[in-house]
């Protein structure tokens, strides 16, 4: 998009539709933020003409042609459409950032399913930018393109990517900043994107990217597998601490599992009030069968071992969400099949859409539950001891 003429000039390279870009010696003017009197999130007017640019030969028509996915979380066109060729660099910069900086536009940080779409795309973007060898270093900065101070129950995950505090737009409010090396990574709501909008076809599973992402995060956060000398099948039952999608006979089902001497059963609530996120991940990584109702906590399947089974107790009529994610990760997925053997507390009451299966609680037939767990246990027994970390299939 913008070609350097001399060695110290700027540069800007992008993929089609501006889904991923990287730049050298790029100026960004953050003075507009002084005039925006509201919290900034999912905004497309943070910059205006001339507030981002570099000293290089700018192909404006080429960039304009790629601005067809103009949306806050689908491309970088809301920001780069204002790119301008400037005569001097660094010029009047108030600050020059010499370390590589990743600028992220992120999804909902309160929801693990949505936020891990951000983390997966960040990891994938490091591979896209492989020519920049330092990008896998943790000595990089991360700037989140919103004015909210970053907070999330899953914030420990950023420790897999950076040793520095996470920045936001207020970090540079009113300043002109020059970045020696920036990456504008893949975004969470891209058309035909990764994880959130992935168009899966039959037989598509065992993504090498998803496996590598899982191993990368586990390794960087020092999450290890613990010994299991008794060789029992480790079952983790994810209990919900919410208003809806609770299991009304949860204690009955867990007691029935504990009566089987082959099982080692643990009931958990994945909340930072009870466990840090790293502790949650450690529990998941040491699980053979992970059981839970439809909900964002099932995103933990990303950190199950390859032989494990995700048992989504009931998908609440959203059948593809965690089934597809399990396919991408390469773990076996099962869910409730016989609707006659579950009872809904009521029809469910969505705030706007009437009756809805996600807005009620459930009772499950104990014998049918045990049969499905036994099916999962059979899979674990068959695959666990034959597993080799060196064998995987690419997507």
Interval 80-84 mean pLDDT: 97
Q: How high does pLDDT run on average in the chain?
A: 93
What residue segments make up the domains of the chain, in order of their start?
2-184, 208-383
Q: Does residue 392 carry a pLDDT above 60?
A: no
pLDDT digits (tens, 9 = 90+) for 147-186: 999 999 999 999 999 999 999 999 999 999 999 999 999 9
Interval 76-86 mean pLDDT: 96
pTM to 2 decimal places: 0.93
What CATH class does 208-383 carry?
alpha beta
Q: Does residue 328 carry a pLDDT above 90?
A: yes
pLDDT of residue 393: 43
Percent of the chain with pLDDT over 70: 96
pLDDT of residue 351: 78
CB-CB neighbours of 168 under 10 Å = 18
pLDDT of residue 244: 92
pLDDT of residue 394: 40
Percent of the chain with pLDDT over 90: 82
Cα–Cα nearest to 141, from 109, 186, 172? 172
pLDDT digits (tens, 9 = 90+) for 219-232: 999 999 988 777 89
Interval 312-321 mean pLDDT: 93
Q: Does residue 197 carry a pLDDT above 90?
A: no
Cα–Cα nearest to 237, from 182, 179, 300, 186? 300
Burial class (CB in 10 A: 0-12, 13-18, 19+), 47: buried
CB 359 within 8 Å of CB 286: no
State the DSSP code for 10. Answer: -
Q: Give the pair of three-digit tokens for residue 85.
A: 């060729």
């Amino acid at each position: 998009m913008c070609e350097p003429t001399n060695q110290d000039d700027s540069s800007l390279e992008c993929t089609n539709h501006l889904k991923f870009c990287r730049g050298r010696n790029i100026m960004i003017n953050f003075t507009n933020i002084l005039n925006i009197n509201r919290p900034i999130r999912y905004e497309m007017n943070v910059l205006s003409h001339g507030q981002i640019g570099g000293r290089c030969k700018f192909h404006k028509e080429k960039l304009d042609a790629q601005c067809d996915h103009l949306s806050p979380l689908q491309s970088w066109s809301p920001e780069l459409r204002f790119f301008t060729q400037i005569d001097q660099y660094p010029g009047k910069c108030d600050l020059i950032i010499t370390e590589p900086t990743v600028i992220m536009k992120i999804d909902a940080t309160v929801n693990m399913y949505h936020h891990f779409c951000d983390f997966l795309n960040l990891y994938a973007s490091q591979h896209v930018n492989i020519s920049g060898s330092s990008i896998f270093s943790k000595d990089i900065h991360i700037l989140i393109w919103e004015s909210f101070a970053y907070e999330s129950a899953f914030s420990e995950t950023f420790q897999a990517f950076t040793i520095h505090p996470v920045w936001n737009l207020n970090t540079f409010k009113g300043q002109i900043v020059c970045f020696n090396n920036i990456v504008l990574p893949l975004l969470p709501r891209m058309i035909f994107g990764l994880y959130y909008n992935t168009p899966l076809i039959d037989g598509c599973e065992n993504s090498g990217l998803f496996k590598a992402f899982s191993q990368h995060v586990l390794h960087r956060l020092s999450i290890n597998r613990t010994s299991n000398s008794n060789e029992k099948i480790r079952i983790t039952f994810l209990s919900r601490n919410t208003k809806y999608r609770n299991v009304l006979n949860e204690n009955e089902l867990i007691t029935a599992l504990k009566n089987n001497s082959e099982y080692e059963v643990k009931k958990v609530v994945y909340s930072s009030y009870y466990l840090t996120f790293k502790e949650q991940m450690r529990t998941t990584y040491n699980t053979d069968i992970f059981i839970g109702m439809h909900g964002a906590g099932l995103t933990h399947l990303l950190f199950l071992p390859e032989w494990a089974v995700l048992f989504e107790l009931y998908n609440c009529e959203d059948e593809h969400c965690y089934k597809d994610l399990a396919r991408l990760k390469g773990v076996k997925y099962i869910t409730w099949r016989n609707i006659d053997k579950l009872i809904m507390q009521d029809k469910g009451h969505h705030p706007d859409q009437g009756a809805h299966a996600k807005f009620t609680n459930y009772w499950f037939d104990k014998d049918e539950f045990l049969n499905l767990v036994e099916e999962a246990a059979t899979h674990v027994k068959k695959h666990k001891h034959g597993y080799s970390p060196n064998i995987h299939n690419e997507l």
